[in-house]
Structure 1
Amino acid sequence: MNIDPREISAMISAHTDPSAQPGAPRMDMYAGIHKALRAVMAHTLLALGRMDVTDEEEFASHCERVMDLLDLCRSHLQHENTFVHTAIEARAPGAARVLESEHVEHEAAIAALAAGITQLLGCAPAARPVATQALYRQLALFIAHNFEHMHAEETTHNSVLWAHYSDAELVEVHNALVASIPPEEMMAILRWLVPFMSPPERTALLADMRAHAPAPVFTGVLHSVKPHLTPYEWIKLMRSLGMSCEIAPPY
C-alpha cells in the first residue's frame, strides 16, 4: 500500500494558489462508475459480514447479492476492455497492458468467488458460519485489490487518455460504452451510480438523461434512486433540476 499525500496536496495547491490558472476538469470516464462500484462493493461486503446464516431467506438473498456484485464486476471488466483499453492501445500501444493483465486476474477471482457462493449455498447449515467467514475474507481481499486497481486506472490510464484524446473524443468513447449496456443492467448501475455521486455530478447526469431519454425511463430512474437519497439530497436534486419534489408514478 502506497499512500502519497503529494497527490492531494498538488490538487489543493492548484485550486488555492491565486497565481495558478488550472484548466477545466478533463473528461473522466472512470469517476462516476468507480464511485458506484466502490459503493456496491462496500455495501455487499458489510451485508455479508452481518448476515444471519440461520435465517433461510436472509441467507439466500445475501448470497444472491454477492452473485449480483460479481456479475456487475464481470460486465464492467468487459466494458473497459472493449472500449477504454481499445482506445488506449489505439494511440499508446502497450499502455493498457499492465492493468489489463490485472483484469485477467480479476476474472479468475470472480469465477472463484462465484464457485464459493455455490458451495456455500449447498453446504450443511452447521457448516455455514465457517464457510461464510471464509467467503467474507476472500471477498474483502478481492475488493481491496479492486480499490487499488481503480485508483491506478484513474491516475495512470487517465493520464494516457488525456495526453492522446480530446474531451470530445473521450465523450464519444464513453457514449459508445454506455450505449452498449442493456437497459436492465443500466438500471442496476444507476441505483448505485446516482446516490453516490456528488450533487453537481448527480444533477449533470440526470439533466443529460432528461434531455435524451424517454420521459417514462427518466421518471423510472428517479423513482429507483429516490429511496437511496436523504430527504435533503432529494430536495436539493429536484431544485437543481427545476422539478417538483413530488414526481409522477413510474410508467
Structure 2
Amino acid sequence: MRLDAGTGPSRRGRARRSVRRLPGARARRLCGPVGRGSCRRVGAARRRADPGRMDGLRCTDRYGCPVWPDDGREGPGGTQRGSDRFLAPRGRPESLRRIDRVPVSRPAPKREETNMSTTDEMQAPASAPRDEVHETPRDDLLVLIHKALRYGLLQLTIDAGSADWTDPGCVDGLRQQWDTLEHLIRSHASHEDRYIFALLESKQPGAVAELGIGHAAVEAELDEVSARMRTACEKREPGSGLAAYRALTHLVVTALAHFSDEEPVVMERIWAESTDEEIAACRSAFMAEITPDDAVATYELMFPAVSPAELAMVLGAVRAGAPEPVFGSLVGVAERTLTPAAMARLREHLEG
C-alpha cells in the first residue's frame, strides 16, 4: 500500500478535486478520463445548480455527462451529435471529442404591466422616420424632374461603362448625351435657386442654409465630369475614357444623395407654409423659361422614369392646358421611349 505521508494529497486526489471544479468536456480535456463517479458528481452538481439547463436531455456518455439525443447513431461513448463528429479534433476517443454545450431553456421574460390596454398599444402612434413619404394631392415641384435626372445619370453611367472609347461614333454619342444632361441639371438647379428656394426663403428665411441643400457640391462635380469628358473625346483612348467614367460615378453619388435629401424636407416646408396658388405661381414662373427643345429632352428622360399614374397625370395636364399638337408631340415622345406594355398601361390611364 502506497502512502503519501508529508507530501499532501495524491495526484489522483488532486485530479478528482480539479474535475469537480470544471464543467463536463472541459474537465475531461484538461484532466483526462479520471473515473465515472467524479463526472457523475459534476453532472449532478450542475443539475442542482440550474435544473432548467437539463430540460430535454435523456442521454449520458460513459462518464455520466449529458449528451444530446440526435439521430440514434452509437459511438464508443454513447449517442453523439452529428455535427460533433465533424467538429471534434482527431486523436481522442469519440466520446471525448464531443463539444459539451448544454442547451439552455430559460423562461420568457415577463411583460411589464402598464395601464395601456392591448387595443391602445395597437393604436399607439409610432415615431415617423425623418424622410417618411406622405401621400398628398398637392403639387410636388421636385419629384418628377428628379426622377428624370436620376434616369439620365444612371443611363449615361451604364453607357459610359460599356462604351468603346476608341470608336469615334460611340464617343461622339456619349459627348452629346452628356451635354444634354449637363444642361438639364444646371437649368434645374437654376430654377430651384431662383424660384423654389426663393419661395421657401420667403416663408422661412435661412432655411436653405439650415437644410444644407445648396448646389455647390453638385456644380463642382459637373465641372469635373465636363473636363474629363472633353479630354476623353479628344484623346479617344481607354485610359481617359475610364477617368471620365469614374468622374461620372462620383457625380451620380453626389447628385442622388442631394435629390434624396432635398425632396422631402423642401416640399414639406413649402406645403406647410404656402398656398396652392403660390405653388402654382412658382411652377408657372420656371416653366415659362423652358424652351421646347429642353421640354422634349426632359420628357424623354421623364417618361420611362415615372410611374404610369404620374405619366398619365403629366399628359392629362398637358392635354387640358395646351394645344392639341403639343399633346400629340408628347404622345409621340411616349411611344419612342416606353415599352409596348408601358404604352398600353398609359393609354388605359388616359382613357380611364
Same fold flag (TM > 0.5): yes
Distance 1:102 1:242 in 2: 41
TM normalised by structure 2 equals 0.60
Matched, 1:169 2:278: yes
Answer with 1 or 2: which has the greater Rg: 2
Which residue of structure 1 aligns with residue 289 of structure 2? 180
Match of 1:195, SS state, is helix
Identity of paired residues, percent? 28
Three-state SS of the structure 2 residue aligned to 1:93 is coil
- Residue 101 (structure 1) shift: 6.5
Distance 1:58 1:78, change over 3 A: same
Task: Report which of the two has the higher share of helix.
Answer: 1
Aligned to 2:168: 56
Q: Deviations over 1:46-72 (max 9, x none)?
A: 000000122211111112212221111
Correspondent of 2:330 among 221, 226, 229: 221
Using the size of structure 1 for normalisation, the TM-score is: 0.82
1:182-241, Cα deviation, whole Å (9 max, x unpaired): 111111101111222111111111011011111111111111221221212111212222
Q: Is the 8 A contact 1:81 1:100 kept in 2?
A: no
Kept after mapping to 2: 8 A contact 1:67/1:117: no
- When residues 179 and 49 of structure 1 are mapped into structure 2, their CA distance, relative to the original with a 3 A threshold, is same
The alignment covers a number of residue pairs equal to: 225
Which string of whole-angstrom CA distances, capped at 9 and with x for unpartnered residues, describes residues 83-123 of structure 1?
10111111111101256763123223222221222222222
Between the aligned partners of 1:8 and 1:231, the Cα distance in structure 2 is 38
Q: How does 1:202-213 map to 2 (within 5 A)?
A: 202-213=311-322
SS at match of 2:214: helix
Q: Say whether residues 1:236 and 2:345 are aligned partners.
A: yes
Unaligned runs of 5+ in 1: 1-5, 15-22, 244-251
Give distance in 2, aligned partners of 1:113 and 1:232.
35
The answer as to 2:155 corresponding to 1:46 is: no
Give me the whole-angstrom Cα distance separating, in 2, the residues matched to 1:33 and 1:101. 16
Partner of 2:47: none
Counterpart of 2:196 in structure 1 is 84
The question of whether the paired residues in 1 share the 8 Å contact of 2:316 and 2:350 is answered with: yes
- Of residues 140, 147, 150 in structure 2, which corresponds to 1:35? 147
1:149 counterpart (258, 279, 284): 258
2:218 counterpart residue number = 106
3-state DSSP class of the match of 1:211? helix
Structure 1 CA distance for aligned equivalents of residues 327 and 199 of structure 2: 30
- Over the aligned positions, Cα root-mean-square deviation in angstroms equals 2.2
Q: Relative contact order: is structure 1 or structure 2 higher (C-alpha 8 Å, sep ≥ 6)?
A: 1
Aligned with 1:197 (options 306, 315, 321): 306
**Does the 8 Å CA contact 2:228/2:243 hold for their aligned counterparts?**
no
CA 1:136/1:193 → structure 2, altered by over 3 Å: closer, same or farther?
Answer: same
Please say which of residues 145-154 and 23-32 is displaced more in the overlay: 23-32
